[in-house]
Structure 1
Amino acid sequence: MTEAPRAPADEAPAGVIRTLRELPRPAIVLLFGIALNRMGSFVALFLVLYLTGIGYSPAQAGFVLTGFGVGSIVGTFVGGSVTGRFGARAVIVWSMLLCGLSTAGLAAVTAIVPLLVVGFAAGAFGQMYRPAAATMLAELTPPQRLVMTSAAGRFGLNLGAAVGPLLGVWLAAAYSYQVVFVVNALVDLLFAAVVWLVIPTGPGHGTREATATPGAAAAPGDTAVLGGAAVPADTARYRDLLRDRRFLLFLAGMFITAVAEVQYQSTLPLEVQQRGYPTALYGAVVALNGALVILVELPLTTLIQRFSMRATVAAGCLLLGVGLGLFGLPFGPWVFILGAVVWTLGEIISAPSIGAYPALAAPTPALRSRYIGALSTCQTAGWAIGPSVGTALFEYVGGAVWVMCAGLGVLAYLGMRAGVRDLVPR
């Protein structure tokens, strides 16, 4: 059994144009599908507005949204496991089919309990595809191209995230929130159909054989060293990941980085409001972040990928925390712009390497989807927990939340320096 073609060990990293030109057609289709799916993902943005509009209290609407968030955490964790068992292609297709049905269900049910169940299902199935998609891209991409491919995937995600809300607002204004959810469901179903029809079965295309076997590099019965202990090369258990202490440090760093980063969504608007600045300033900060990521990340990654992964991940997480910490300085509105630039620079430096790292860190192809799923789970958990932590700190101790962000950036830096291995041949 063979894996997707790999580049020679001494081949230098390439720019985005060359990387995309050399990727196989299924990888390009998958990158396009991920961007399209992100553009059509409206549930988290409009669910609270929809529920309050049909008579539910903000607390009840928040409860349903929490169910959606919990489902997202569960979905990323389960996604890593089922990808190893059934293959990435099958998981993407079935998760998108079920997500489409669940999302359409949000427009059809009105009682609180069914809404909670359907919201949980939409969150779970909507995130279950992420480890599968990342696993498939890792199978289709040479190691020296993974960082740039990760950056290309993020470009599509961020472009979709910028266009999607505008489309959702137009649909809600012109039609209704029910139509918004139905369009979301149709996009999910379209993604499933594209993967099913365009990406072939067979080794290296996200089938069970490609995902769950070591390929030509290892035969059944071979072993790999993990945490000082030998494990079967065809093993596929999350508990094996727990032996990799350095990867656990990486996951801890990602969790606390996510807790810090999500403050720009939950706590930063409160900070801007408390200081008496217009909401437009907050909008400018968020728009600046998105514009810099879309315009700068791809060309900058061409240079950044030539540095060690340990250096880029650690430095990026540190800059991200420091940039968020700048929001607490008692100066004029310019400090928010400065903070946004520093935070975004940290995101640009670290995120492509973070996206590529789990696939390279997994000691066997069978564990690849678990490593990727663990990263997605830790990030999703941090994004889910962070708003409660940040807003509580802001309510009781004010600007200390930004000190927390800077401190988390330092902790993440130390964790990444200790945990991240330099795995890309250069």
Structure 2
Amino acid sequence: MKKMYNSYVANFRGLSREIWLLSLVTFINRAGAMVIPFLSLYLVNVEGFTLPQVGWIMSCFGLGSLAGTYIGGKLTDTIGFYKVILMSLFLGGIGFVLLQFINTFYGFCIGIFILTLMTDAGRPAIFVAADTYSKPGNITRCIALIRLAINLGFSIGPLVGGLIIANLNYTSLFWIDGLSCMMAALGVFVLLQPKKQKNTITEKTTLVKEGVPPYLNKLFILFFVIMIANSLAFVQYFSVMPIYYEQVHFLSEDVIGWLLFINGATIVVFEMPLISWLDRKQISKTMATFWGILCLGLSFLVLNLTSWSGILVVAMLLMTFGEMIGFPFSNALALEMAPKGRKGSYMGLYSMSFSFAHLIGHNGGMNLVNSVGYFNTWTVFSGFLLIIALLTIWLYFRLKKSQVGKV
């Protein structure tokens, strides 16, 4: 046990003070975003919207994420990550506070779009900051620490949010979310000093770009489609699933918070050791993606096997292990498929897969449940993911034939 602990801690030694502070700020921000997991419940229970209406509102969430990530990346290159992070946190905090005063369908569509645009504009800036503040050779570990902070925040946030709703009300969440974002902005302003982006020696030579752009790479487009499909199912756990917990299993918001806590806590404790072990086993990145998709599919399938509420924990653990195995290796596979000089454009397209899933997935899931019910919806998603898993195996053999690294 001590050896495992020392091995786990060793992954984060030697990181700069700024990286730790950046991770702390990220944790405060993500822990404060406790409205998001309960947003669908709030829209149904408090505002009285129908499931299809909630689906359209969540599509605006995805559209805002897509626009915010794109604009944030452009602004980061123009005015620097420091200002983008500050503006994203502060304006996002104001947005959370103001959201509670909206009570019309179209108002929520616009409000959610603007709020998500502001909050997600900071995502590219965070990782540019990680690159800037990292020491030579440890950028991967810096990003791992920030990812751990994000997941720890997402595990604690829903837990605290559920307790607040159970003991106070939904309105309190908006104030806490808004103030926590502003606190995170203050933390960036006070603790992190602006620093110029790493500027390697500018060479007069033109950067040679190998291969083709991502949208002309047929295998990468296939991989991109697989990632969108996987994410379409994954986002159901953060919109449709909380409503399912309440309407079918009659769980209160605080218990739902504990269920969501399982996801983040499991990732924080087990992801780094699991990924390190799989990496030592030299597992194929494509096959790791396959196993991640399969676990997610099984998480939907088991929900139809019994009415026992304990199956919700089993499903959450299956989804979590699918996330832990699938997402890190699919990210690495995207980098591996990107030719020299085009990694930015390839990773940009890869990152957009999750935004597209937000745009389509929540709406599709809500309308599917409204039309055919939860049992049939989970059957559709489990069968859909089985097809996507088989498609991933086909990608594996196609990549193996083209000899793209450790596919």
* TM-score, with length taken from structure 2: 0.76
> In structure 2, how many angstroms separate the alpha carbons of the residues matched to 1:416 and 1:82?
37
SS in 1 for 2:208: strand
Letter in 1 for 2:152: L
Indicate the residue corresponding to 2:231 in structure 1.
258
> In structure 2, how many angstroms separate the alpha carbons of the residues matched to 1:57 and 1:380?
23
- The answer as to whether partners of 1:147 and 1:355 remain within 8 angstroms in 2 is no
Change (3 A) 1:299 1:317: same
* TM-score, with length taken from structure 1: 0.73
Are 2:383 and 1:403 equivalent residues in the alignment?
yes
Pairwise CA distance, 1:279: 5.6
Indicate the residue corresponding to 1:76 in structure 2.
69
Letter in 2 for 1:316: A
For residues 15-414 of structure 1, the aligned pairs below 5 Å read 16-50=8-42, 56-58=48-50, 63-110=56-103, 113-141=106-134, 145-172=138-165, 175-203=168-196, 207=197, 210=198, 215-216=200-201, 219-228=203-212, 242=215, 247-265=220-238, 288-306=262-280, 311-312=284-285, 314-326=286-298, 327-328=300-301, 331=305, 341-354=317-330, 361=338, 363=340, 368=344, 372-390=347-365, 395-396=371-372, 399-414=379-394
The size of the alignment, in residue pairs, is: 385
SS in 2 for 1:85: helix
Pairwise CA distance, 1:40: 0.2
- The answer as to whether partners of 2:55 and 2:367 remain within 8 angstroms in 1 is no
Pairwise CA distance, 1:182: 2.2
> In structure 2, how many angstroms separate the alpha carbons of the residues matched to 1:336 and 1:175?
26
> Deviation digits for residues 67-103 of structure 1, max 9, x if unmatched?
3332122212322232233322222112222212222
Pairwise CA distance, 1:35: 1.5
> In structure 2, how many angstroms separate the alpha carbons of the residues matched to 1:400 and 1:257?
13
- The answer as to whether partners of 1:16 and 1:152 remain within 8 angstroms in 2 is no
Pairwise CA distance, 1:56: 4.8
Change (3 A) 1:401 1:114: closer
Letter in 2 for 1:32: L
Pairwise CA distance, 1:183: 1.9
Bigger drift between 158-167 and 337-346 goes to 337-346
Pairwise CA distance, 1:379: 0.9
Letter in 2 for 1:223: L
SS in 2 for 1:84: helix
> In structure 2, how many angstroms separate the alpha carbons of the residues matched to 1:284 and 1:50?
17
Letter in 2 for 1:352: P
- The answer as to whether partners of 1:37 and 1:187 remain within 8 angstroms in 2 is yes
Q: CA RMSD in A?
A: 4.1
Pairwise CA distance, 1:127: 1.1
In the alignment, structure 2 segments of 5+ residues that lack a partner are 1-5
Identity within the alignment, %: 23
Pairwise CA distance, 1:164: 1.0
Pairwise CA distance, 1:42: 2.8
Change (3 A) 1:262 1:112: closer
Pairwise CA distance, 1:39: 0.4
> In structure 2, how many angstroms separate the alpha carbons of the residues matched to 1:53 and 1:343?
26
> In structure 2, how many angstroms separate the alpha carbons of the residues matched to 1:402 and 1:220?
53
> Deviation digits for residues 117-165 of structure 1, max 9, x if unmatched?
3321111111111122123224444686455444433322222122112
Bigger drift between 333-342 and 77-86 goes to 333-342
- The answer as to whether partners of 1:51 and 1:61 remain within 8 angstroms in 2 is yes
